[in-house]
A and B are shown apart, each in its own frame.
Chain A
């Protein structure tokens, strides 16, 4: 589904964001990208929706090479890839309904489809009752749900989430992760970059650890932290629960 082979990314200022990275992500899987800020998690996600091109290496998404994709083809890729950010990126002058519908309308969807799809995803993220509310009147968790609904409304095969719980309290963070989990169970491949140890440890999914642009761990049912021996372990709190 997603594959990176020998991928390096060096920014014009000389910063090496990724260094010879190889990753294979199977269809329908749920993957955490973990690591400190600045270790290349966001850069890696940006390669997957072609916001960025790698300096070297091959990037494939849904079996299509995206590193050398023509610019005109990028919109097509992005309709199959939903992206969610820490800061939600909602339009403040549009209601929840309009924010979600926007993603369909600007891709030329028929009004009939907009009227059918938007209520469906709002229901899926539990925001049907807030459809007419503006983002400023929503809690952080609700805003993130709106952003997820917007990412989901085009029925993407893949969802990329860049610190989706970064601005949320633990309760809201868990709810959002549960929502992403439910979406994943319906078949959407999920890649979540995070440094929220609690949610990683709670979910026990595949964890890919990045340090200084290199992969230093890749565990099928991993934890956030890594022991000196190189094995992943749970956080102190989670360990004694």
Chain B
């Protein structure tokens, strides 16, 4: 290892980086804003996806048997449904039990004592292992003898999926715009450094420095902008998580707390990676255009 060479190179990077501090801070700040929003977006998307998964997972297929079905017919149906490997559980609710549960649920809302007969059919509540198979299992169950009707909240599922899709697309558009802005600002910062060092660059080219060697300190400058911005953003995100997460969990009781516990290491690495990539790409483009090498 030639420490002298490394020291010379690092010194070049330091000189680049400290030449225009204000521009450098602007670039770092833009990356910070970009990464904070990216972090919030990724976190939000993950949380929505998890909540969605949970909601979908809780979806039951309600199977209503016809009036002629006897207890043994219901039993046959249960065995038939349970034999399906996609099914997690089957809960049998006879019509009397169904009425009792409805009375319980509607207590203080509707006067159920007015009901003179039991209008409810015998029902089976089926849960599947994978939410994606709800429709297929429902279709299969519908064909069983004595099955009058099959219901599941497919509207709710679809609406939820559509919502997360729209949120995702809008988020990506905003992020693309932000990444573009950060790239432009980094690239402008590098351009100023290239301009400030044009004499040195001319001499480097004159004495036969390779294009890669001339580029490298500028690429490192962009990389530093990206990484420092991302690190600052991570600090802000960590602070927000520490301060805000308990409040969110309290304010939104229907959101299960474990849903919001997303692995911070992976997210941090992803965000640092994005910061570094934007810095490198922006400086590469800028320096190539400036040096015409």
Which chain A residues have a beta carbon within 8 Å of chain B's beta carbons? 49, 71-72, 74-80, 83, 89, 91, 102-103, 105-108, 110-112, 114, 150-151, 154
Contact = CB atoms under 8 A, between A and B. Distances in A.
A39 B205 CA distance: 26
Interface in B177-224: 199-200, 202-211, 213-214
Interface of B: 2-5, 8, 199-200, 202-211, 213-214, 293
Contacts of A77: 208
B211 A106 contact: no
Which of B208, B209, B214 has the largest number of chain A CB atoms within 10 A?
Answer: B208
Contacts of B209: 75, 106-107
B207 A108 contact: no
A118 to B, nearest CB: 12
Q: Is chain A's interface secondary structure helix, strand, loop, or mixed overall?
A: helix
Contact of A107 (B3, B199, B208, B211): B208
Given A106-B213, A110-B5, A154 B208 contact: yes
Contacts of B293: 71
A12 to B, nearest CB: 15
Contact of B204 (A106, A151, A154): A106
Chain B at the A interface: SS class: helix
Nearest to A94: B200
Nearest to A153: B207
A111 B5 contact: yes
A110 B203 CA distance: 19
Contacts of B5: 105, 108, 110-111
Contact of A103 (B4, B202, B207): B207
B48 to A, nearest CB: 49
Contacts of A154: 207-208
A74 B202 CA distance: 13
A114 to B, nearest CB: 7
A111 B209 CA distance: 16
Nearest to B6: A111
A110 B2 contact: yes
A74 B208 CA distance: 7
A226 to B, nearest CB: 33
A76 B207 contact: no
B3 A111 contact: yes
Contacts of A72: 211
Given A72-B211, A76-B208, A154-B208, A89 B199 contact: yes
B208 A102 contact: no
| The 10 nearest A-B residue pairs measured at CB | A111-B4, A78-B208, A79-B208, A106-B209, A103-B207, A75-B208, A106-B204, A75-B210, A105-B8, A111-B2
5 contacts: A91-B199, A107-B209, A111-B2, A112-B2, A154-B208
Contacts of A71: 211, 293
A106 B205 CA distance: 9
Contacts of B199: 89, 91
Contact of A91 (B4, B200, B211, B214): B200
Nearest to B8: A105
Nearest to B197: A91
A204 to B, nearest CB: 30
A78 B206 contact: yes
B203 A78 contact: no
A76 B207 CA distance: 9
A107 B213 contact: yes
Nearest to A83: B206
A78 B211 CA distance: 12
Given A79-B207, A107-B208, 8 more contacts: A71-B211, A75-B205, A79-B208, A106-B209, A106-B213, A107-B213, A111-B2, A112-B2
Given A71-B293, A78-B205, A114-B4, A108 B210 contact: yes
